[in-house]
Amino acid sequence: MAGAVEELKKMAIVVRYEILKHLRRKRIYVAITVFMLTALACVLVPAYFNAPMPPDARTFGANYVNFLGILELMTIICGTFFVGDAIASEFEHKTAFISFINPVKREVIVLGKYIAAFLPVALALSLYYLVGAVAMYTSYNEISVRFIMSYLLELLYLASVIAFTMLFSSLFKRGILASILSFILLFLVFPIISFILVFAGIYPIAVLTFAGQIVTEIFMDYPMMEEIYTGHFTFRLYHPMLIDSIISMLAYVVVSLVISTIVVKFKEV
């Protein structure tokens, strides 16, 4: 028990040190600024153009979270570039000779870096949803349960994106390479794979970005699969189901962190 407490204390030190690094690099401020500007745009732009208000809080929440697809894009950008150099930079700049030789288990360092990357972006996301919640309550005197669910699912999606990027950071020795490769996979390759699987009639829940769509689709009551008839062809359109998406994203978090820890543990300094 005492040993576990000691390891947690060491992890807290790693988290604190990594967050200070993010503060020095201004990353936290940039993330918060971008998310806040996006949130204000979601609220003020429709009002400026005198767009009609949605009929209920649930529809308002759906429009807010779906606004120009910015939320998903920012999640991927922040998730990849906050953690892409978390481990890779230690080997790139030779600081691993100090970090990984100290009497701190490497798995503690990996988890500490992961938590330190997650917390700042989670804060920015929380502020984004807070603005939406205030606007929703001001207009409808209630906060949609689906909006709260979307927020929690978004945090889980962020956690899975960061864990996935952490995996590449542990595999490469250049942080920018890990960040760019993770971004390309999440932003371009995974959506293409999802499209191909859907076209082939396969439910692509194993693809992270498809599972992450539950953040926006939680507002609607979709069936898992819809059949669309176009001429002589029948096209199947799949939607991520809540439980399936949660399991898929949790699997990405656990598997990515386990592999990252194993790779770092046996990586030569």
pLDDT digits (tens, 9 = 90+) for 3-26: 677 778 888 888 888 888 878 878
In a domain, 84, yes or no: yes
Domain of residue 109: give its range: 2-189+240-265
In a domain, 210, yes or no: no
In a domain, 204, yes or no: no
pTM above 0.85, yes or no: yes
> Which residues lie below 8 Å from residue 110, measured CB to CB, with a gap of 6+?
87, 166, 170, 257, 260, 261, 264
In a domain, 227, yes or no: no
In a domain, 212, yes or no: no
50: helix, strand or coil: coil
Tokens of 170: 């542990």
Taking only the tens place, the pLDDT of each residue in 175-189 is: 788 889 999 999 999
In a domain, 213, yes or no: no
Lowest mean pLDDT among 48-52, 56-60, 202-206: 48-52
In a domain, 28, yes or no: yes
For the chain, the domain total comes to 1
How far is the CA of 166 from the CAs of 40, 85, 204, 247, in angstroms? 31, 8, 23, 19
In a domain, 163, yes or no: yes
